[in-house]
Amino acid sequence: DAKTTQPPSMDCAEGRAANLPCNHSTISGNEYVYWYRQIHSQGPQYIIHGLKNNETNEMASLIITEDRKSSTLILPHATLRDTAVYYCIVRVEDNSKLTFGKGITLSVRP
Amino acid sequence: GAGVSQSPSNKVTEKGKDVELRCDPISGHTALYWYRQSLGQGLEFLIYFQGNSAPDKSGLPSDRFSAERTGGSVSTLTIQRTQQEDSAVYLCASSLYSGARKAFFGQGTRLTVV
């Protein structure tokens, strides 16, 4: 019943931008796109979320396609500490359940 | 406290024993969630509490699992007659209210059933 699909893994060089893709072709009009990440041996951490407009905060940028069927999380200058599993989640805002898939493992290499 | 606190951080128990896992949410957060993460797997939703409403127990895998939240704050997840497949990291999260955008997770309790 996965609502999002992500590649299993990717890597990037330290200091470069990391672009993490996510497909959510069945997203509904009232569903938001959320990104969380989980660094090894820690609990997940909220990164960013959006509905249809692109969003940016101190951690990342979220680019959502016009048809909302896919999105990209951008870490503009990846560091070694960004190595983690990144989860893309779609969620109705008033639905408390966050349903996590397997995520994408980002490895940042020196 | 500053964040969600879970205890113990590690628990080893014998098959068949009961265990209790504790979660102290962020002060003032009315929503509390429990998740389970088996080795190499994603997070599996177990249960959530929101204020005085009936908890959503739809993710509990069997009747050996139960949870309570006393006084709208601390929560305890109880697993009775533990089995080896219960071995996992149990994560607790809280948010300001059920639809809040950010959920804050604790570090988890690693449960090992031997």
pLDDT score, position B99: 67
Nearest C-alpha of chain A: how many angstroms from B11? 15
- Check residue A94 and give its pLDDT: 66
Could you tell me the pLDDT band of residue A65, with boundaries at 50, 70 and 90? very high
Q: B72: closest CA among B40, B32, B102?
A: B32
Interchain contact B39–A (C-beta under 8 A)? no
Chain mean position to CA B60: 10
Whether residue A109 has pLDDT greater than 60:
yes
Contact criterion met (CB < 8 Å) for B103 and A46: yes
Tokens of A104: 């994408």
Return d(Cα B27, Cα B91) in angstroms, integer.
17
CB contact set of A107 (below 8 Å; sequence gap of 6+): A9, A10, A11, A12, A83
Q: Are A73 and A85 in contact (CB under 8 A)?
A: no
Residues of A contacting chain B (CB within 8 angstroms)? 32, 34, 41-46, 49, 87, 93-103
Tell me the residue ranges of DSSP E strands in B1-114.
Answer: 5-7, 10-13, 19-24, 31-37, 43-50, 65-69, 75-79, 88-95, 104-105, 109-113
Q: What pLDDT was estimated at residue B96? A: 86
Tens digit of each residue's pLDDT (9 = 90 or more) over B20-40: 999 999 998 989 999 999 987
Give yes or no for residue B45 having a pLDDT over 80: yes
Is residue B56 within 8 angstroms of chain A, CB to CB? yes
Chain B residues in contact with A48 (beta carbon < 8 A):
none
Q: What band does A1 get if pLDDT is binned at 50, 70 and 90?
A: very low
pLDDT value for A93: 72
Classified as helix, coil or strand, B84 is helix
pLDDT tens figures, B65-95: 999 998 879 999 999 999 999 999 999 999 9
For A2-21, what is the mean pLDDT?
94
User: Residue written as tokens 């003032």?
Assistant: B28
Q: For residue A21, give the nearest of A66, A69, A67, A92 by alpha carbon.
A: A69
- Written as six digits, the tokens of A57 are 């905060």
- Taking residue B16's Cβ as centre, other Cβ atoms within 10 Å add up to 10
- What is the average pLDDT score of chain A? 93
The band of A75, judged by pLDDT with boundaries at 50, 70 and 90, is: very high
* CA-wise closest residue to B46 among B70, B30, B69, B62: B62
- Of A30, A19, A24, which Cα lies nearest the Cα of A4? A24
Measured between beta carbons, the chain A residues lying within 8 angstroms of B9 are none
pLDDT tens-place string over residues A23-49:
999 999 889 999 999 999 899 999 999
CB contact under 8 Å between B104 and A103, yes or no, is no
b/e burial code for range A42-66 (CB count within 10 A of at least 16 → b)? ebbbbbbbbeeeebeeeebbbbbee
pLDDT at A108 over 80: yes
**Least CB–CB distance from B42: residue in A34, A46, A100:** A100
Residue A94 to residue B101, Cβ atoms within 8 A: no
CB–CB of B103 and A98 under 8 A? yes
